Amino acid sequence: MKTHTVGIIMNGVTGRMGTNQHLMRSIVEIIKQSGVQVSSTESIMPNPVLIGRNEVKLKKLSEMSGVEKWSTDLEKYMNDPEYPIYFDAQSTLRRADAVKAAASAGKHIYCEKPTAVDTATAIELHKFCEDKGVKSGVVQDKLWLPGLVKFQRAASNGFLGRIFAVTGEFGYWVYEGTTISSQRPSWNYRKEDGGGMMIDMLCHWRYVLDNLFGPVKSVQCRGATHIPERVDEYGTTYKATADDAAYSMFEIDGPDGEIIVNFNSSWVTRVRRDDLLTLHVDGTKGSAVVTLRDCYIQHYSNTPKPIWNPDIEQPVNFFDDWAKIPEQELYDNAFKVQWELFLRHVVLDEPFRWTLLEGAKGVQLAELGLKSWKERKWLEVEDLVK
């Protein structure tokens, strides 16, 4: 068996996402399965080192994960040729300088999104890595969620016909921290620290919409800060300066014509729907409701014919005529799937299209959303590939 051992500098993995999704559910699981199996005689084995600023957190994370190597000395490993990959899961404002330093050291870049808080910086990072001749990748995990995979197959088989409308609902109630502690870090609600719903989630919706339906051509967005004060991790009350909700419309250039998208994103909503994220997709031949793990479909021939009559109890149960797409295969963790693809890209030079340019597209949509809110108008989404 030939094993390609690949060193990975994992910077900022003491945070919630870095710990849970990237370290424990991706890299540690890949190690447990004896690496990424390329063939019956070849595999890729990650060799991570945990990097951060807090020794106590790093030591605890090392013990929990079984990853022995950890350090607060990032520069030491930047200069170590045994670690050709740099992964960044720090807070957004720290990312650009760290990515440039890693690319300058010849490291291939894989990082969380948003890659920056403005489009110019995000594009600069893409071009910087291209100029340095290193490979790059941006986390776009939702593309490998079971619900979205099931939907893509149904749509590509023509089940929905011509898709013309999408309604997205995302979010949940994030506690303010007064009587019940918040389940998100406080910097998420401070604009000066890179926080905000638009900069966080419109980066996701860009790649989801682009890949599932077609390129986003224009945007109109209205943000809000519904909860003006919150309590941080140390019990201190602070002013929320970033948007905690975004109400967006997008126009998409679909393969069969225009698609109109309404998308609500909120950290101040109480959920009464199938999941924390749902996409309701309407087409000429059928509709679909997509969740994180499931997809429900209703064909034209199964569509009920309701009559508007508010004076009687509704005789139609609108849940009855939907079919749940069955589990036709095993679905791995979405973050882990993309990690394996990136490792194959670095070691075997296999194609990988989710680069820093794709990350810049997400930042572009978020920045346009904020500008649309400020100027109160529709804005065109320019092609960044020009």
DSSP E strands, the chain: 2-11, 36-39, 42-51, 70-71, 85-88, 108-111, 136-138, 163-171, 216-224, 229-231, 237-239, 245-254, 257-266, 277-283, 286-290, 295-299, 323-324, 379-380
Residue range(s) in the chain whose domain bears CATH number 3.40.50.720: 2-141+334-355
Q: Tell me: domain 143-329+365-375, CATH 3.30.70.870, correct?
A: no
How far apart (Å, rounded) are the C-alpha atoms in residues 258 and 366? Answer: 21
Task: Output the pLDDT for position 386.
Answer: 61
Task: Output the pLDDT for position 1.
Answer: 80
How far apart (Å, rounded) are the C-alpha atoms in residues 246 and 227? Answer: 13
Burial 294-308 (b: 16+ CB within 10 A, else e): bbbbbeeeeeeeeee
How far apart (Å, rounded) are the C-alpha atoms in residues 93 and 102? Answer: 16
Task: Output the pLDDT for position 185.
Answer: 93
User: Which residues lie closer than 8 Å to 91 by C-beta, 6 or more apart?
Assistant: 12, 15, 187, 193, 194
- Which stretches in the chain have pLDDT values below 50? none
Q: Residue 62 belongs to what H/E stretch?
A: helix 55-65
Residue range(s) in the chain whose domain bears CATH number 3.30.360.10: 143-329+365-375
Q: Can you read off the two tokens belonging to residue 150?
A: 């099931």
Q: Can you read off the two tokens belonging to residue 21?
A: 């999704």
Instruction: Output phi, psi for 171, to 5 deg.
Output: 135, 180
The predicted-structure confidence for 19-39, as pLDDT tens digits, reads as follows: 999 999 999 999 999 999 999
11 beta partners: 51, 88
Nearest residue to 46 (alpha-carbon basis) of 32, 35, 33: 35
How far apart (Å, rounded) are the C-alpha atoms in residues 262 and 285? Answer: 20
The predicted-structure confidence for 253-281, as pLDDT tens digits, reads as follows: 999 999 999 999 999 999 999 999 999 99
Q: Can you read off the two tokens belonging to residue 110?
A: 């894989």
Q: Provide the 3-class DSSP secondary structure of residue 173.
A: strand
Taking the alpha carbons at both ends of the chain, their separation in whole angstroms is 45
How far apart (Å, rounded) are the C-alpha atoms in residues 209 and 212? Answer: 5
Matching residue, tokens 């051509």? 217
Class of 2-141+334-355 per CATH? alpha beta
Report the predicted TM-score, pTM, of the whole model to 2 decimal places.
Answer: 0.94
Q: Can you read off the two tokens belonging to residue 243?
A: 């948007």
Instruction: Output phi, psi for 31, to 5 deg.
Output: -65, -45
